[in-house]
């Protein structure tokens, strides 16, 4: 598929690494922006690997989380959650482990409106220390979350709420397609993932499929995350399961229903049961 004009290019460095290696790059205490939304296209294989590696004191940033944040709280990986919403929505309701971890004081929540997460990431992406958020008023969250301040408008208008920039150490984004150098394409809803990839210091992409170099050279506008922003690429088929991944698979409601019955002590066995599948693609990279 690469034409002769492209073939003369020197080959770019491959960033393709096994899941274990990518997860090992995350250090205890790091702040992670997780891609996807509620039960859709969250980087679940990566989350399970973080748990298997026993990470601790992680921070999480997301507008609306579900199984990812719940599972990490169950495993004791999390210190802080910055999110607007954490729940499994209507079918399975409250995120039980998250709820218990917060109620016991083990996990601290900086509750945001989903939009203030976006604004905080926009501040980070544009290198600004904070971002004004029009319309964020009449809320006790300003008092309780230290990331918010109400300041005078320097141009003489009404006072305005600002949110401090949130600069994630890592954005971890699960996509349908990526190449070895990190160029990545998200099919279907992109949620906040593109913004996260710009706001974070470093980006890890996990992908359902690894495509050949030059795959998008005829339509580079299709690429959501350019490879130069990406630190590592992982081939992770079914990497969003038991959640959904558009055009690949729907959520596994049977698996999720089983998870809803698990206690904290069951979590090591739960993530172990995915270990083989999560790590299976390490040597089986498909080149198109």
| Phi, psi (deg, nearest 5) at residue 209 | -135, 140
Q: Is 99 in the site for another protein (CB under 8 A)?
A: yes
Q: Which CB atom, from 125 or from 267, has the smaller least distance to another protein?
A: 125
Size of the site for another protein (CB under 8 A): 52
H helix intervals, 230-274: 253-259, 267-273
Q: Is 259 in the site for another protein (CB under 8 A)?
A: no
Q: Which CB atom, from 84 or from 226, has the smaller least distance to another protein?
A: 84
The residues in 119-178 that bind another protein, with binding defined as CB under 8 A, are: 133-141, 144
Q: Which CB atom, from 68 or from 111, has the smaller least distance to another protein?
A: 111
The answer to whether 178 touches 148, Cβ cutoff 8 Å, is no
- Please give the angle made by the CA atoms of 210, 34 and 180, to the nearest 5 degrees: 20
Q: Is 244 in the site for another protein (CB under 8 A)?
A: yes
For 12-27, b/e burial (b = at least 16 CB within 10 A) is eeebbbbbeebbeebe
Cβ–Cβ contacts within 10 Å for residue 157, how many? 8
Q: Is 258 in the site for another protein (CB under 8 A)?
A: no
Q: Which stretch binds another protein (CB under 8 A): 25-33, 79-87, 123-131, 165-173?
A: 79-87
Q: Which of 93, 152, 212, 268 binds another protein (CB under 8 A)?
A: 93
Q: Which stretch binds another protein (CB under 8 A): 1-9, 218-226, 246-254, 260-268?
A: 246-254
C-alpha to C-alpha distance for 4 and 268, rounded to whole angstroms: 51
Q: Which CB atom, from 144 or from 266, has the smaller least distance to another protein?
A: 144
- Give the dihedral sign, CA 107/44/15/220: negative
CB of 93 to another protein, least distance (A): 5
Q: Which CB atom, from 12 or from 87, has the smaller least distance to another protein?
A: 87
Q: Which of 40, 164, 174, 209 binds another protein (CB under 8 A)?
A: 40
Copy the structure tokens of residue 48: 């399970």
Q: Is 87 in the site for another protein (CB under 8 A)?
A: yes
H-run or E-run covering 80: strand 78-86
Q: Is 201 in the site for another protein (CB under 8 A)?
A: no
C-alpha to C-alpha distance for 248 and 32, rounded to whole angstroms: 25
CB of 150 to another protein, least distance (A): 13
Q: Is 34 in the site for another protein (CB under 8 A)?
A: no
Q: Which stretch binds another protein (CB under 8 A): 105-113, 152-160, 210-218, 232-240?
A: 105-113
Q: Please report, for the chain, how many H helices and E strands are present, in that order.
A: 12, 11
Q: Which of 29, 53, 56, 89 binds another protein (CB under 8 A)?
A: 89
C-alpha to C-alpha distance for 222 and 209, rounded to whole angstroms: 16
The answer to whether 57 touches 81, Cβ cutoff 8 Å, is no
| Phi, psi (deg, nearest 5) at residue 59 | -105, 150
Q: Which residues bind another protein (CB under 8 A)?
A: 37-40, 63-64, 83-87, 89-95, 98-99, 102-103, 105, 109, 111-116, 118, 133-141, 144, 188-192, 195, 244, 246-247, 251, 253
């Amino acid at each position: 598929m690469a034409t002769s004009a492209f073939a003369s290019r020197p080959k770019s460095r491959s960033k393709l690494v096994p899941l274990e290696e990518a997860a090992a790059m995350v250090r205890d205490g790091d702040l992670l922006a997780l891609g996807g939304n509620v039960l859709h296209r969250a980087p679940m294989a990566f989350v399970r690997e973080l748990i298997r590696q026993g990470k601790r004191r992680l921070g999480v940033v997301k507008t609306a989380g579900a199984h990812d944040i719940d599972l990490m709280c169950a495993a004791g990986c999390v210190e802080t959650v910055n999110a607007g919403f954490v729940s499994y929505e209507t079918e399975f309701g409250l995120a039980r482990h998250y709820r218990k971890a917060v109620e016991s004081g083990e996990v601290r929540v900086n509750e945001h409106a989903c939009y203030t997460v976006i604004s905080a990431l926009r501040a980070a992406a544009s290198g600004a220390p904070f971002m004004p958020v029009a319309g964020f008023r009449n809320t006790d969250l300003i008092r309780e979350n230290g990331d918010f301040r109400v300041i005078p408008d320097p141009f003489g208008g009404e006072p305005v709420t600002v949110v401090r920039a949130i600069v994630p150490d890592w954005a971890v984004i699960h996509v349908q397609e990526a190449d070895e150098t990190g160029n990545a394409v998200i099919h279907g809803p992109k949620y906040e993932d593109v913004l996260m990839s710009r706001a974070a210091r470093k980006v890890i992409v996990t992908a359902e499929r690894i495509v050949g170099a030059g795959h998008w050279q005829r339509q580079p506008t299709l690429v959501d995350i350019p490879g130069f922003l990406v630190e590592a690429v992982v081939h992770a088929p079914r990497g969003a399961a038991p959640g959904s991944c558009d055009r690949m698979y729907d959520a596994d409601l049977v698996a999720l229903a089983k998870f809803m019955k698990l206690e904290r002590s069951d979590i090591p066995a739960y993530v172990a049961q995915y270990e083989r599948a999560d790590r299976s693609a390490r040597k089986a990279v498909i080149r198109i």
